[in-house]
Chain A
Amino acid sequence: MTPQLPDLTNVPELPLILSLLIVFFLLLGSLFTFIGALGLACFRNFYDRLHMPALGTTIGVTAVLLGTSLYISYIEGHIIGRDILIIFFLAFAAPINGMMLARAAAMRDFTQNWHDPSDNMFHRLVTDETDTQLEQEENKNAANQGTKTALAPTHTGKATPKTRHRSKNNDKSLI
């Protein structure tokens, strides 16, 4: 079983080393892109997911476009340099995209009073508080406010209790 491809009768037989080089570049780039997509699909937090497309946009794009550019330069007989343009453009565009999305997400999370359920270590680094102190403080706040806990406004109008530790509907309630 060979994959169905268009006719390659006008393709000259490439040298073996060039063919191996092209296949190496293509497989390297697509493998890195697949790892990036896997991480983007499987990570739990947005700020973890934000790292992963950089694999595809730097190493993946560079390797795949170098492979195709090697092939088309061999076929045409002279060097085709358009892919260098795409590589540079994407290498400059990827950090700008990441920065804009991170700022937008941080602003949205700040206004919607969002807490990462696994963020205890960072909070401890910033404020020098331990978990038990935080729990005691939250219990005291809850006792002071009685049944009226601090609520974050959401789009659905449904209120979510403000808990620092693991709450299952913390991520779902904010769209």
Chain B
Amino acid sequence: MSLTILIWGVFAARLLLACSCLLLSFRLIKGPKAQDRIIGLDTLYVIVMMLFATFTITTNSRIYFETALIIAMIGFVSTIALAKFLMRGEVIE
């Protein structure tokens, strides 16, 4: 009983996260300016990190937490670099 609840709950959560990934891909492709694309990419990083965290439940493996941590850090650094590039034209000055 509890296993069925857990499986369906994880399935619904992944479905919602996948739908939000699709919406953010729409914003990433269409977005009228560069800053819209960058904010879509940043949020896409976070949502993929949450998808990796839900993989922990069905695979019983702790390694996805490390993956999620690395994805979060790389997403933060890439967003900062892209915002600096938009503002100044170069990342390191």
Chain B interface main SS type = helix
Confirm or deny: A5 has a beta carbon within 8 angstroms of a beta carbon on chain B: yes
Min C-beta distance of A98 to chain B, whole Å: 8
Instruction: Tell me if A30 and B53 are in contact (CB < 8 A).
Output: no
Q: Is A20 touching B17 in the complex (CB atoms < 8 A)?
A: no
Least distance between B67 CB and chain A CB atoms (Å):
11
The answer to whether A33 touches B3, judged by C-beta atoms less than 8 angstroms apart, is no
Size class of the A contact interface (CB-based, 8 Å): 35 or more
Interface check A19, CB cutoff 8 A: yes
Measured CB to CB, the closest approach of chain A to B24, in angstroms, equals: 5
Name the CB-closest residue of B to A64.
B50
Complexed CA–CA distance, A33 and B46 (Å) = 10
- The verdict on A80 contacting B7 (CB below 8 Å), with A68-B53, A175-B32 known, is no
Known A61-B46, A83-B65: A40·B24 in contact at CB below 8 Å: yes
* Pair count A-B, CB < 8 A: 203
Give min CB distance, A66 to chain B, whole Å.
10
- Mark out the residues of chain B between 20 and 70 whose CB falls within 8 Å of any chain A CB in the assembled complex: 20-21, 23-24, 26-27, 32-36, 38-40, 42-43, 46-47, 49-50, 53-54, 56-60, 62, 65-66, 68-69
- Report the separation of the CA atoms of residues A3 and B58 in the bound assembly, to the nearest whole angstrom: 12
Interface residues of A: mostly helix, strand, loop or mixed?
helix
Contact of A61 (CB < 8 Å), options: B33, B50, B84: B50
Query: Which residue of A6, A13, A27, A93 is within 8 Å of B58 (Cβ)?
Result: A6
Q: Is A49 an interface residue (CB 8 A)?
A: yes
> Bound complex: CA of A89 vs CA of B86, how far in Å?
24
Residues of chain A touching chain B, judged by Cβ–Cβ distance below 8 Å, are 2-3, 5-6, 8, 10-11, 13-16, 18-20, 22-23, 26-27, 29-31, 33-34, 36-38, 40-41, 46, 49-50, 53, 56-57, 60-61, 64-65, 68, 71-72, 75-76, 80, 82-83, 85-86, 89-90, 93, 96-97, 100-101, 103-105, 107-108, 171-172, 174-175
Interface residue ranges, B against A (CB under 8 Å): 1-3, 5-14, 16-17, 19-21, 23-24, 26-27, 32-36, 38-40, 42-43, 46-47, 49-50, 53-54, 56-60, 62, 65-66, 68-69, 72-73, 76, 79-80, 83-84, 86-87
